[in-house]
């Protein structure tokens, strides 16, 4: 487009050519030919990405928002040893489930729990063998200041009860980390007390964003999010004891209707590789021994 | 109910702010007028996420607006009903200012001057010249502002925090039900919104029918 415009400029621009009609004619035809050639080359360029698309496989991966940052570190490692490319979409696990039930053409889903993946198997969208556990999630509560560092459950409960600041959690109806947060608040007898002080995010990523923009004082997110941008200076976190919420068994599934089953299956296997396990541990996730 | 409350508050504030602004825009020859008109029209063009993003930052107690609010009123601005009102006022501003400006511009200057020479004071001119002529403009501005606020979604999704009774407006509640695959509840909310909106708009258009108007209307 730009080279074409350049040629068009030359049609009108040279004032010297306008004085002699012969020169003008030569400039005009030359410019037209040049523009035509350029247009053809531009057309070929437009075709290029299309042909490239046909040459390589693209895996569409749906991922729980809490795990997105970690997945973004896993994908380049996978792509460096595999011809397939990956495209990531993230939302709350329950939202992705609704999209899948309504026909979204994801090849893989990396959920933040094992409830939704179980539903997908029951619904026949996933074959039982296309379902693996890839990580154990860890729920944390983050706050400004060092107040939560090395705190006990009782201390945290007293702090939250005594504060008037808002607490953010993901929507318990769709996000597993939101449900874990609700269970934790209930276990600490804070659920009724914090009514009206709770800001509910669409997913764990929005919850972290509420906290990082300074709009809430407390936020329930995953430890993985803390290791990927949540660990601001002057923030502290409390690792919620496992006894306070049902375990976040994070499962990945391969959709039965996927058109890229071999590559998607390779990706599932890659999630169990030593390389990824190391990365998961570094991000605060638990893995199967 | 929260939705109606939000739209009502927003419309009221917008009419109070918008009327003088629109009057000034309709009369002024200030060289800055196109710039100000452009700023007012910005919410028409910008995705709600742009406004939502900056409001989220502005409402935080760490920034000037959120801080001033907290020190003046003692409550947090973020995720409150007031925050939604501020967001909606910005978002619906063009829908109120533009119809008002159009109706004010349609009032012939000569008419006001004639009224003045006949001894009508500013208030009298407002009551007996401006108001009857601009009334359809006010109706249009109020109904558009109200309707647009009811239809607001993106900004609330970003700055609302989905708090029942405080920031969970119908559009958000509907969105939640759809995500949960609760289509029955979603239908109830959606059909309710359609019915109420249709009834309200029909009433407004009925009040604007030409045979119900006075002899001279410019809108």
The ipTM is 0.75
Residue A68's CB: how many other CB atoms inside 10 A? 21
Is the distance from CB of A92 to CB of A111 less than 8 angstroms?
A: no
Predicted pLDDT of residue A13 = 43
Domain range A57-136+248-282, its CATH number among 3.40.190.10, 3.40.50.10140, 1.10.10.10, 1.10.1240.10: 3.40.190.10
Is residue B216 over pLDDT 60?
A: no
Q: Which helix (H) or strand (E) holds A41?
A: helix A21-55
Q: How confident is the model at residue A68 (pLDDT cuts 50, 70, 90)?
A: very high
Residue of A nearest to B162 (CA): A200
pLDDT in tens, B121-150: 888 888 888 888 888 889 889 988 998 998
* Residues of chain A with C-beta less than 8 angstroms from the C-beta of B62: 214
pTM value is 0.78
Residue of B nearest to A96 (CA): B179
Fold: same for A57-136+248-282 and A139-244: yes
* Residues of chain B with C-beta less than 8 angstroms from the C-beta of A165: 76
Instruction: Measure the CA dihedral A77/A83/A84/A90, to 10°.
Output: 20
Q: How confident is the model at residue B64 (pLDDT cuts 50, 70, 90)?
A: confident
Q: How confident is the model at residue A29 (pLDDT cuts 50, 70, 90)?
A: low
Is residue B75 over pLDDT 90?
A: no
Contacts of A207 (CB under 8 A, 6+ apart): A168, A169, A170, A177, A178, A201, A219, A220, A221
* Contact call for B163 and A214, based on CB within 8 A: no
Nearest CB to A199 within list B79, B157, B176: B79
Q: Left if phi > 0, otherwise alpha if psi is -120 to 50, otherwise beta: which for A196?
A: left
* Residues of chain A with C-beta less than 8 angstroms from the C-beta of B181: 98, 101
Task: Tell me the C-alpha to C-alpha distance, in Å, between residue A174 and each of A83, A233, B154, B175.
Answer: 34, 30, 19, 12
* Contact call for B78 and A215, based on CB within 8 A: yes
What's the rounded Cα separation, in Å, for the pair B152 and A202?
A: 17
* Contact call for A202 and B63, based on CB within 8 A: no
pLDDT in tens, A106-115: 999 999 999 9
E strands along A111-205, which residues?
126-137, 139-144, 167-170, 198-201
What is the CATH architecture assignment of A139-244?
3-Layer(aba) Sandwich (3.40)
B66 at interface of A, judged by CB pairs closer than 8 A: yes
B interface mutation test: which of A102, A194, A199 has the most B CBs within 10 A?
A199
Residue A26's CB: how many other CB atoms inside 10 A? 11
Nearest CB to A213 within list B60, B157, B180: B60
* Contact call for A201 and B163, based on CB within 8 A: no
% of chain A with per-residue pLDDT over 70: 81
Is the distance from CB of A151 to CB of A159 less than 8 angstroms?
A: yes
% of chain A with per-residue pLDDT over 90: 70
B74 at interface of A, judged by CB pairs closer than 8 A: no
Q: Span B16-25, mean pLDDT?
A: 94
Instruction: Tell me the domains of chain B and their CATH numbers.
Output: 2-212 (1.10.3720.10)
Domain ranges for chain A: 2-54, 57-136+248-282, 139-244
Contacts of A199 (CB under 8 A, 6+ apart): A166, A167, A168, A169, A210, A215, A216, B78, B79, B161, B162, B163
A interface mutation test: which of B178, B179, B181 has the most A CBs within 10 A?
B179
* Contact call for A213 and B166, based on CB within 8 A: no
pLDDT in tens, A244-266: 999 999 999 999 999 999 999 99
Residue of B nearest to A217 (CA): B61
Nearest CB to B179 within list A95, A198, A213: A95
Q: Span B159-163, mean pLDDT?
A: 83
Whole-number average pLDDT of chain A: 86
Residue with tokens 């739209």: B7
Structure tokens at A93: 């696990």
* Contact call for B180 and A92, based on CB within 8 A: no
Q: How confident is the model at residue B18 (pLDDT cuts 50, 70, 90)?
A: very high
Structure tokens at A282: 């570094």
* Residues of chain B with C-beta less than 8 angstroms from the C-beta of A235: none
B61 at interface of A, judged by CB pairs closer than 8 A: yes
B73 at interface of A, judged by CB pairs closer than 8 A: no
Instruction: Measure the CA dihedral B47/A221/A211/B165, to 10°.
Output: 70
* Contact call for A196 and B178, based on CB within 8 A: no
Q: Are strands A218-222 and A248-255 parallel, antiparallel or unpaired?
A: unpaired
């Amino acid at each position: 487009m730009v080279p074409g415009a350049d040629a068009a400029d030359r049609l009108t621009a040279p004032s010297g050519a306008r004085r002699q009609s012969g020169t003008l004619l030569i400039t005009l035809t030359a410019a037209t030919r040049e523009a035509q050639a350029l247009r053809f080359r531009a057309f070929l360029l437009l075709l290029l990405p299309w042909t490239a698309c046909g040459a390589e496989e693209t895996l569409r991966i749906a991922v729980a928002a809490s795990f997105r940052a970690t997945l973004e570190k896993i994908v380049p490692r996978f792509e460096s040893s595999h011809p397939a490319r990956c495209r990531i979409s993230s939302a709350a696990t329950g939202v992705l489930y609704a999209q899948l039930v309504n026909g979204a053409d994801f090849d893989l889903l990396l959920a933040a729990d094992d409830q939704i993946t179980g539903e997908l198997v029951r619904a026949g969208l996933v074959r039982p063998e296309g379902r693996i556990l890839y990580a154990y999630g860890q729920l944390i509560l983050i706050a400004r200041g060092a107040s939560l560092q090395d705190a006990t459950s009782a201390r945290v409960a007293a702090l939250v009860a005594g504060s008037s600041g808002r607490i953010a959690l993901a929507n318990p109806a769709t996000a597993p980390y939101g449900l874990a947060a609700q269970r934790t608040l209930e276990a600490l007898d804070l659920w009724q007390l914090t009514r009206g002080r709770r800001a509910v995010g669409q997913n764990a990523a929005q919850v972290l964003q509420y906290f990082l923009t300074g709009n809430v004082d407390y936020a329930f997110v995953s430890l993985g999010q803390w290791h990927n941008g949540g660990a601001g200076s002057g923030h502290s976190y409390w690792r919620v004891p496992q006894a306070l919420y049902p375990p976040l068994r994070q499962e990945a599934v391969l959709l039965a209707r996927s058109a890229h089953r071999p590559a998607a299956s390779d990706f599932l296997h890659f999630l169990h590789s030593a390389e990824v396990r190391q990365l998961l541990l570094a991000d605060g996730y638990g893995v199967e021994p | 109910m929260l939705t109606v409350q939000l739209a009502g508050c927003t419309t009221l504030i917008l009419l109070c702010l918008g009327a003088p602004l629109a009057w000034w825009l309709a009369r002024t020859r200030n060289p800055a007028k196109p710039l100000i008109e452009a700023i007012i029209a910005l919410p028409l063009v910008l995705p709600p996420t742009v406004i939502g993003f900056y409001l989220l930052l502005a409402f935080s107690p760490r920034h000037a607006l959120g801080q001033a609010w907290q020190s003046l009123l003692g409550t947090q601005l973020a995720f409150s009903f007031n925050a939604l009102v501020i967001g909606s006022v910005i978002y619906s501003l063009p829908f109120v200012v533009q119809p008002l400006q159009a109706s004010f511009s349609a009032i012939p200057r000569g008419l006001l001057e004639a009224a003045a020479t006949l001894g009508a004071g500013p208030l009298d001119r407002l009551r007996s010249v401006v108001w009857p002529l601009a009334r359809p403009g006010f109706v249009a501005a109020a109904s558009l502002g109200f309707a647009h606020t009811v239809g607001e979604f993106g900004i609330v999704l970003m700055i609302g925090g989905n708090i029942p009774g405080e920031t969970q407006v119908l559009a958000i509640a509907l969105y939640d039900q759809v995500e949960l695959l609760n289509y029955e509840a979603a239908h109830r909310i959606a059909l309710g919104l359609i019915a109420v909106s249709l009834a309200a708009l029909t009433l407004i258009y009925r009040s604007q029918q030409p045979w119900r108007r006075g002899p001279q209307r410019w809108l």
